[in-house]
Structure 1
Amino acid sequence: MYARLVDRDPVVPADQLVAQMVPPAMFDEVSFASYIPDPKEPSQATAVRKAEEFSGKVAKIRGGGRRGLFGRKAQTTGAGLYLDGGFGVGKTHLLASIFHSSPSPKAFGTFVELTHVVGALGFTRAVEELSSHSVLCIDEFELDDPGDTMLISRLLTELSARGVSIVATSNTLPGQLGEGRFAAQDFLREIKKLASIFETIRVDGPDYRHRDLPPAPEPTDDADLLERVKSIGGATLDDFDELCAHLSTQHPSRYGKLVEGIPAVFLKGVRAAEDQSVALRLVVLADRLYDAGIPVTVSGAKLDEIFTPEMLAGGYRKKYLRATSRLLALSRFEVAA
């Protein structure tokens, strides 16, 4: 017999939501020194330098603060940094490096994870939980949903006023016309109350996950999936449609726990997602699988065919392309038997 994701029903207590806001395991050991800038892309070396300078500001703000009347420490507004660029240029590496070099307490999460935390805790408690932090690192800041964007903008305004520094990365499309100029302008417009504290830094380059690599691997067959999953202790094998249905019963904040400790994921009968709600859940699952570095092997359609051409032409195009990039990277990981 084999394990299945659909049989798992994880629970994440509310008081653990902020505590688990740390970089994915694959970024546990990264640093500014371990980021190797592409000599063909000078913006990368500049981004490393600016990120390191920002880290110094974080430590100074949290540890210092000027003295006011009667020797009381005056409130200092947090610093802000926005790393703008396409997929796979090392923005998350720099974000995690800032996190590692900043004083505790501190928090790291994707934009989606942060909205889930605020939704689970409530706005007031989320502010209270995060206001003692030196820095809040937000990966893949999204401008797709006006409601979520305004909610997080309000949260960041409150936290910045309390001395929490904010650093965010973009989910800008590679090759988008004017992406460097317009993505940064869009971000600053949406967080207009905070715009003055943010320095925007451009990071150019190709997606490192797919440099000089072949296209998406061909799917295998169901019989091969079954044999392979049996040879890997703890690996899971799920029917794609059943897994999509199971994801609809789980809050996205649970997806990390859903795949926790799994060495490999096998999916049979993969096909194009039937609608946006299913596709967006698969985006979150892809992010959590990628964070954990879990190999993915499928039968049915290729992993770059999950999101339809209509979806890729729509408002969530950025999310779908990022998820595809990450799923393809996972499909090339070696599965240890």
Structure 2
Amino acid sequence: MPTRLADRRPEVAVDSLIAGLTPPPLFADVRFDSYRPDPAEPTQAEAAAVLRRFAAELAPPARKGLFRRSPPPAGPAGVYLDGGFGVGKTHLLASLWHAAPSPKAYVTFVELTQLAGALGFARLVTELSGMRLLAIDEFELDDPGDTVLVSTLLARLDEAGVRFAATSNTLPDRLGEERFAAQDFLREIQSMAARFASVRVDGPDYRHRGLPAAPAPRNEAAVVEAAQGAGASLDDFGELLAQLATLHPSRYGALLDGVRRVCLTGVAPVPDQNVALRLVVLVDRLYDRQIELVTSGLQLDALFSAEMLAGGYRKKYRRAISRLVALARLAA
């Protein structure tokens, strides 16, 4: 019998949450030496060189004491990779994390805000203050509240001597002349702006790639058959969405423990933005683990309404579609 994700109630200990702040499985084996910069885009090789130096310069944490303060870092407190999609920023960020000395943490911007909700701000500051490096992938500016939260967190960690690296989340239609720029990022972390080094990573314009065509959904009987193998789950799409609403997003990864193929029947349009944003988080966890996806019902590239794809969270939804399609192709 295949497992039902909708029946799972994962519990994740705080220690496990902190220990799990590592690059996703998809980037577990990347290193600077495996990065292949485009010869036609010199900023890619330059960015790799900057991050290699940054890793070498990371200072050990200051000894803790009642009246001791961490010394200021020898170089910039952080490095910010500014560029569009598909230019290797995450590969470089994960390579920096692997090259950096411990203790260190790697997290996406969304995961960081979720940790603040799960642990509380003060506890999160305590847990991260001993890190030598905090790497934040896909720094987002589409939610002012979350941006202020993370900016405040970085200021507190900066005082403790933590060093940072971050990547941007450029919107597809803001590339080129109107794209997300380093100034936008630095403006949101004004207390630390002077201590961040901005590094451009150029490459092909994401807009010219478009969204991949989704494979045709299967019939329900084929989905049920695909769920009979070991490591497979089988759920009704609506029931799974309802289950996500009962779990803190920090548990979505644990929800997938031991699962290699997710099978969903009755896929239908996502009803509202709250549901859509929870689904985006689950899709990221599926993609991180490269879990196969088999579905019936609506084609995956039609999940989100035209209004959603034109709204402020369109980058998240476009990324989710791209990743869902890639996982469906894995199963095919």
Q: TM-score, normalising length from structure 2? A: 0.91
- CA shift, 1:121, in A, is 1.8
Q: Equivalent residue for 2:174?
A: 176
- Residue of 124, 137, 150 corresponding to 1:152: 150
Aligned to 1:32: 32
Out of 129-138 and 199-208, give the one that drifted further: 199-208
Correspondence list, 1:258-273, <5 A: 258-273=255-270
- What number of residue pairs does the alignment pair up? 325
Residue 78 (structure 2) aligns with = 80
Corresponding position of 2:105: 107
1:21 and 2:17 matched = no
Output the CA distance in 2 between the equivalents of 1:199 and 1:181: 19
Whether 1:293 and 2:290 are equivalent positions in the alignment is yes
Letter paired with 1:298: T
* Superposed CA RMSD: 2.3
2:219 aligned with 1:221 = yes
Q: Does 1:3 align with 2:3?
A: yes
Return 5+ residue gaps in structure 2 as ranges: none
What amino acid does structure 1 have at the position aligned with 2:89? K
Cα separation, partners in 2 of 1:75 and 1:180, compared to 1, 3 Å: farther
The separation in 1 between residues aligned to 2:284 and 2:212, in whole angstroms, is: 22
Q: CA deviation at 1:316?
A: 0.6
Alignment of 1:228-307 (within 5 A): 228-230=226-228, 232-307=229-304
Q: Partner of 2:307 in structure 1?
A: 310
Moved more, 285-294 or 19-28: 19-28
Match of 2:42 in 1: 42
Aligned-partner residue type, residue 308 of structure 1 = S
**CA deviation string 1:174-220 (max 9, x = no partner):** 34244676432211111111111111222233489x97996211111
C-alpha distance in structure 1 between counterparts of 2:116 and 2:124, whole Å: 6
Q: Give the TM-score normalised by the residue count of structure 1.
A: 0.90
- State the identity as a percent: 58
Query: Does the CA-based 8 Å contact 1:62-1:163 persist in structure 2?
Result: no
Deviation at 1:119, TM superposition (A): 1.7
Deviations 1:42-85 (A, max 9, x none): 32222212221221222xx22799xxxxxx88612462111122
Q: Kindly indicate whether the alpha-carbon contact (under 8 Å) linking 2:131 and 2:162 is maintained by their aligned counterparts in 1.
A: yes
C-alpha deviation, 1:156, in angstroms? 0.4
| Secondary structure in structure 2 of the residue aligned to 1:18 | helix
**1:172 Cα shift?**
0.6
Match of 1:68 in 2: none
1:109 is displaced (CA, Å) by 0.7
Q: Which runs of 5+ in 1 are unaligned?
A: 66-71
Matched, 1:98 2:59: no
Task: Work out whether residues 78 and 163 of structure 2, in 8 Å CA contact, stay in contact via their aligned partners in 1.
Answer: yes
Q: Which moved more, 1:110-119 or 1:49-58?
A: 49-58
For the 8 Å contact 2:61–2:131, the answer to whether it is kept is: no
Contact conserved, 1:260 with 1:292, CA < 8 A, in 2?
no
**Which amino acid in the other structure matches residue 8 of structure 1?**
R
Partners of 1:99 and 1:118 in 2: CA distance = 21
Q: Residue 174 of structure 2 aligns to a residue in which SS?
A: coil
Answer whether contact 1:89 1:203 (CA < 8 A) is retained: yes
Aligned partners of 2:150, 2:188: CA distance in 1, in Å? 10
1:327 is aligned to: 324
Instruction: Select which of 194, 198, 205 maps to 1:200.
Output: 198
Task: Label 1:179 to 1:2 Cα distance change in 2 as closer, same or farther (>3 A).
Answer: farther
Q: Distance in 2 between the 1:5 and 1:171 partners?
A: 30
Q: Over residues 255-291 of structure 1, what are the superposed CA-to-partner deviations in whole Å (9 max), with x where a residue is unaligned?
A: 0000122011111111221100010001000100011
